[in-house]
Amino acid sequence: MPGYQALPCPAVPPRLLLAYRRTHYVVAGIDVRIGRRCAAMDTLLARHGARFGVFVTAWNPLSRRMPEGWNRRMQRRLAEWLRGGVVLPAAGTLWRWCEAHVLTMRHPRWTARLAVRFRQRGIVVVQRGRAARLVML
């Protein structure tokens, strides 16, 4: 995606980057993994007439753990910014770690700018017929 770095950002420790890549991104019972194509996700996108989907969160900005109440408030604010488009509740899970996400069907560039506003380090982009990819911001 021109204008956005798809390679590891120098500010992200390799261990954290590995965790992002191993995370299961789940929406509507569909498990999406970085670097893998998911036929069920293709079907979901097609059902909504979308070419792209983007997993984004407002939890734990800059990968720093915040209190759950704070995270929930920020997630609600993110949802307000996403009003008017297709937005589905989602989650990112790795072992016992779980963060609320949403899957929005907006264009990845627009969503990336919003993620930066919420101080996120990356988003996960799914596109019909392609493997899911982690885009570092």
Question: How does residue 10 score in pLDDT terms, banded at 50, 70 and 90?
Answer: low
**Does position 113 have pLDDT exceeding 90, yes or no?**
yes
**Does position 9 have pLDDT exceeding 60, yes or no?**
no
Which residue's structure tokens are 């991104």? 25
Alpha-carbon span 87 to 122, nearest angstrom:
18
Neighbours of 79 (CB within 10 A): 15
The stretch 82-97 carries a mean pLDDT of 91
The stretch 74-83 carries a mean pLDDT of 94
Q: Please provide the average confidence, as pLDDT, over all residues in the chain.
A: 90
The stretch 16-40 carries a mean pLDDT of 94
Alpha-carbon span 57 to 120, nearest angstrom:
8
Contacts of 117 (CB under 8 A, 6+ apart): 81
| Under 8 Å between Cβ of 121 and 136 | yes
Of the chain, the end-to-end C-alpha distance in Å amounts to 12
Which residue's structure tokens are 């720093």? 64
- This prediction has a pTM of 0.88
Q: Give tens-digit pLDDT for 53-68.
A: 999 999 999 888 899 9
95 DSSP 8-state letter? T
Tokens, residue 35: 């670097």
